[in-house]
Amino acid sequence: MQTIDVLAVFAHPDDVELTVGGTLLKLKSLGYATGVVDVTRGEMGTRGTVEGRAEEARAAAEILGLSVRENLELPDGHVFADDASRAKLVQTLRRLKPKLLLTHQDGDPHPDHDHIAQLVRESCRLSSMKNYDAATGDEKIPVPRVAYNVFSRRVQPSFIVDISEHLQAKMDAIRAHSSQFYDPNSTEPETRLTDKRFLDELENRSRYFGSLIGVEAGEPFFVREALNVEDPVELLSRPMNIYS
């Protein structure tokens, strides 16, 4: 049975690459086993097909070095933190046994994203309750911690991950989802993502968050709980913004 250390749970194929791809690459380089659960197949997307997007997700998984990439196949545009969805995610968590989950930001304007943040939070807690969904025979696990990627709402990050060495690979993983981004030869409808400037804006975003901690590129996260710091001197003496 495959178990992993870090699991990213995001709505649509390509969401994980757009938000936490650099962090997954960084954690992989540190020796952690990483995985992704795409909650939907992206069937409501303006461009591409379900089958094509699945192939793109597999190609991106290779670039990210994932140990596992799965799809819950919940209906795109109709994701809720209902009991059936929670049970499905709890079963996945109990099987993969991650220590840390990465997911969407609370309050994201896309309903699927916002509901998945809630779904993840509730499912992590339920996965530790012995008698929840006991019929599956899956054993309870310790409650995984959850880090929410800061993407669509202006909030102060709890921490920023230095992805400087992995920015190029992150962008390569994003471009593996070729149906979703700029293609001068495409005859499909245009979207915000297909704008020629979108990927440059995304890369600039990583560089902005990197600048806040004095590095080339970064990805920001928010956590609800207070962080337990073992060595504050080691933490606070790391390189910071040169203007601080």
- Domain harbouring 223, CATH code: 3.40.50.10320
Range of the domain at 226: 6-236
User: Residue 214 contacts by C-beta under 8 Å, 6 or more apart in sequence?
Assistant: 239, 240, 241, 242
In a domain, 90, yes or no: yes
The number of residues in the chain equals 244
Asked whether residue 118 carries a pLDDT value surpassing 90, the answer given is yes
In a domain, 216, yes or no: yes
Host H or E run for residue 147: strand 145-149
pLDDT at 240: 67
In a domain, 136, yes or no: yes
In a domain, 1, yes or no: no
In a domain, 243, yes or no: no
In a domain, 187, yes or no: yes
In a domain, 241, yes or no: no
Highest mean pLDDT among 14-28, 123-137, 224-238: 14-28
Predicted TM-score of the model (pTM): 0.92
Number of structural domains in the chain: 1
Asked whether residue 152 carries a pLDDT value surpassing 90, the answer given is no
